[in-house]
Amino acid sequence: MQRVSAKEILSCYAEGQRDFSNIDAGEVFLFEAELPNINLQGSNLATAHLPYANLTYANLQAAQLPAAEMSNIQLYQADLAGANLQKANLSRANLRHANLQGANLTGADLSGADLYNADLSQANLSSANLSRTNLEKAKLQAAQLAGCNLYRAQLVDLETAYIDRTTILPDGHRDSHSL
């Protein structure tokens, strides 16, 4: 994996390069960076600082983003399938129509995030903070929600998600098949 700095990413991106797959950019600082359509598939971005960045339509499949700071990030229609977002801060992130199939979001902070029509099928959201999150039309087939906080989350159906007694559900929601 080639080590790449924030300066190199921004410079190459400005010159038209979009493919940064399989790079090592751990701890990179890209606050408010404009990087739509960037390809970071399989890249190491552990503990990266990406608050307020624009990564709409980005390819982050299988990317390593544990403990990344991504508050207020724009990830509209981004592909994060299989990404490791364990303990990442995605509070107030725009993840509308994003693909998070099989992503590891264990312990992540998604409070206030917009996950409208996002695909969270088979994602692990155990112990995640989903309070005040918009989950309307989100796909939760086989998603792991054990111990997560769904307080004041906007959602319609929990029929296909796995939850347990430690899951904090929003008012009016009850899951009879796993409690």
pLDDT at 172 over 70: no
Q: Write the CB contacts of 22 (distance below 8 Å, at least 6 apart in sequence).
A: 1, 2, 41, 42, 43
Residues 134/40/3/30 CA torsion (nearest 10 deg): -40
Backbone angles phi, psi at 129, to 5 degrees: -95, 105
Q: What is the mean pLDDT of residues 95-123?
A: 97
Q: What is the DSSP track for 36-96?
A: TT-B-TT-B-TT-B-TT-B-TT-B-TT-B-TT-B-TT-B-TT-B-TT-B-TT-B-TT-B-T
pLDDT at 168 over 80: no
CATH number at residue 38: 2.160.20.80
pLDDT tens, residue by residue, 53-68: 999 999 999 999 999 9
pLDDT at 174 over 80: no
Strand partners, 144: 124, 162
Calculate the CA 82 to chain-centre distance: 10
Q: What is the mean pLDDT of residues 4-20?
A: 97
* Residue linked to tokens 């924030």: 6
Q: Of the given ranges (36-50, 73-87, 126-140), which has the lowest mean pLDDT?
A: 126-140
Question: Considering its fold, how many domains does the chain have in total?
Answer: 1
| Residue ranges making up the domain that contains 15 | 1-179
| CA dist 179 → 12, 126, 153, 157 (Å) | 52, 16, 19, 16
pLDDT tens, residue by residue, 21-78: 999 998 999 999 999 999 999 999 999 999 999 999 999 999 999 999 999 999 999 9
